[in-house]
Structure 1
Amino acid sequence: MPLPPSDSPACPGRSDSPGSSDLARPLLRVDGLRIGFADGEAVRGVSFELWAGEVLALVGESGAGKSLTARALLGMLPRGADVHGRVLLRGRAVTSADLGRSLAWIPQDAMSALSPVHRVEDQLAFAVRAVARVRRTEALAVARRALAGVGLTADAAAAFPHALSGGMRQRAVIAMALVNGPELVVADEPTTALDPERQEQVLALLRERCAAAGAALLLVSHDLEAVRRHADRVAVTYAGRIVEAGSAELVLGRPVAPYTRGLLASLPTAGLPHRSRLPVLAGGPPAPGAAAAGCAFAPRCPHAGDLCRGTEPTARPVDGRTVACHHPFGEAA
């Protein structure tokens, strides 16, 4: 059963449907985002756009700044964060009032988003009533339709979170994220705690439900194969910067940044001989604030030269995507 649209009577008070002028500009625009802490900058000038209805994936190794970037969009950064740059939703600054309305969050661990002492359907009804002035019975009806829309039975909807499997809890969190008709859903490694089969089911469901609701999806992930199947565009992050961004087909099919190629080459492949050594990307990313002058990937890059070690590359268009690299593959010297 489909979820109610944002202008449904089940969600009164939401009269912010996009006009024709809104369709000509990105839903979300991030300009020069920098996030620093006492030990240095963890996100260093990240910029990207996200259009209504599309799926954009942020990928990269742990510590690349993916989750911090996602949390910055929602005002959920840890204490002590020093933030600069702009985050605009349909051309206006994002505020805390947008969370739960225009913006929704799906964390890695579903239990961190669910109360252990309330039934699942009641928690969704609370979320509905936090946005819309409706009776409890009406909010419960909306909650139950939303839960049915992600494949949860009436018994599961009436259960406490601890009684559900990990996959069922993640489905409940997806329903909660979408119940108020957000324009943007931010999902931070939403399938980390699930087995591979359920990971694929949940990601497919998440994309399907976002598409049905007309919501854009920002997906933070380290799973490049899942991203290849479910994302429209990909932004590859390294040491707090985006090093390659473009369509998933281009970036993951014909990468030109050495770091992107290294990530893809490190994936295990079918037919790998028994007991053979798994491929790895040698070395590790620098700690926040520890990146040397020049390209942060230069110490690990087999193609780095003096220019790479002395001058930080700026993002520029190369072969249909944007790349921050002095010597991308396929470009004439």
Structure 2
Amino acid sequence: MSTVDDLILKVDNLQTQFDLGRRVVRAVNGVSFNVRKGRTLGIVGESGCGKSVTAHSILQLLPRLGKITEGSITYYKDQQEVVLSQLKRNGTAIRSIRGKEIGMIFQDPMASLNPVYTIGDQICENLQQHEPISRKEAMEKAVEMLTLLGIPKVSARMKDYPHQFSGGMKQRVMIAMAMVCKPRLLIADEPTTALDVTIQAQILELMKDVQAQYGTSIILITHNMGIVADMADDVAVMYMGRIVEFGSVRQVLGSPQHPYTQALLRSVPVLGIDPNARLQTIRGSTPDPSEKLEGCEFAPRCDYAADRCRTVPSESILPDGHRVRCWNCRGGIA
């Protein structure tokens, strides 16, 4: 159980929607979770389940058509509570927290880095925005962080532009920008997307090193169960804007209770599998989030759906604290 002294972030019944003319897309629909100090929370699920929207809601980085309609996001700083969900999107208060207190590694470094500014300029801008230091001091800190992240010939590369870096190097630069102010919480949105497995392993190892050195809490957003098993302490499984299962990595991956979590794990390739064997898939497709469904959203794709699944399931809390949003949380192949 988390105590207030142990918490760095609390998300309670978060609901975020996008108004698209006659359609309303409920991207996040009643999400609740805690992030503990020095721990890593993995958020997993298929594309479109609401993982990234949840992360953007935390920092008020939603596009113009998106808005938080209900719930709260509370950041705990020096025994004070800052309700992030009540701050103005571009106000001084939230801008003082973005990058300084809470850093974010965005999903696509190709689109997140400004192509007309050097790498050094972009990292220093973040530093000087939040700390009263000179340009020279900012450059020194930027060099120190890039060196820690394994970029060779740092002093020369500080003058290079994003197009002069490989995909893996761009991702390291993104991590440097997110970590240079030593934030207490780091949100990593698919930090290894489009990288080969060798670079993926290096990036994840770098994140572990940074966490160990600075005691940083991490929210790791991914669809890769292997990364979650390696990095996370706690796991939230999302489907259709809801958390359908939450617990420690041992509980969720070792004893999955929700049929959706079980299906995700069955679809993961296993080393030594018969090369002629077909990977299992989750039948059907994710419903349109603008349509209101009766009962459990996963029921149309679930192998264990019953009549009672036509009504909305309540969340069950097992004796070990494992949370499952399913009428039959002990069913299936757990």
User: What's the TM-score once normalised by structure 2's chain length?
Assistant: 0.88
Written as runs of structure 1 = structure 2, the 5 A alignment for 1:1-333 is 24-38=5-19, 39=23, 40-83=25-68, 84-90=70-76, 91-94=81-84, 95=87, 96-97=94-95, 98-153=97-152, 154=154, 155-309=156-310, 311-320=311-320, 321-329=322-330
Structure 1 letter corresponding to 2:11: V
| Contact 1:121/1:147 (<8 A) preserved | no
Q: Which residue of 1 aligns with 2:91?
A: none
Distance of 2:134 and 2:201 partners within structure 1 = 36
Identity of aligned residues (%): 40
| Contact 1:146/1:179 (<8 A) preserved | yes
Structure 2 letter corresponding to 1:92: V
Distance of 1:214 and 1:110 partners within structure 2 = 25
Distance of 2:262 and 2:175 partners within structure 1 = 32
From the superposition, tell whether residues 251 and 73 of structure 1 become closer, same or farther in structure 2 (CA, over 3 Å). same
Superposition deviation, residue 231 in structure 1: 0.7
**What secondary structure is seen at the aligned counterpart in 2 of 1:24?**
helix
Structure 2 letter corresponding to 1:110: P
Deviates most, 194-203 or 206-215? 206-215
Q: Which residue of 2 aligns with 1:14?
A: none
Structure 1 letter corresponding to 2:315: A
| Contact 1:106/1:187 (<8 A) preserved | yes
Distance of 1:183 and 1:318 partners within structure 2 = 31
Aligned CA RMSD, in angstroms, stands at 1.7
Distance of 1:139 and 1:82 partners within structure 2 = 35
| Contact 1:147/1:157 (<8 A) preserved | no
Structure 1 letter corresponding to 2:110: M
The answer for unaligned runs of 5 or more in structure 2 is 88-93
User: What's the TM-score once normalised by structure 1's chain length?
Assistant: 0.88
Distance of 1:225 and 1:34 partners within structure 2 = 29
| Contact 2:6/2:37 (<8 A) preserved | no
Superposition deviation, residue 64 in structure 1: 0.7
| Contact 1:258/1:329 (<8 A) preserved | no
Distance of 2:275 and 2:319 partners within structure 1 = 38
Greater than 6 Å deviation, 4+ residue runs: none
From the superposition, tell whether residues 305 and 23 of structure 1 become closer, same or farther in structure 2 (CA, over 3 Å). closer
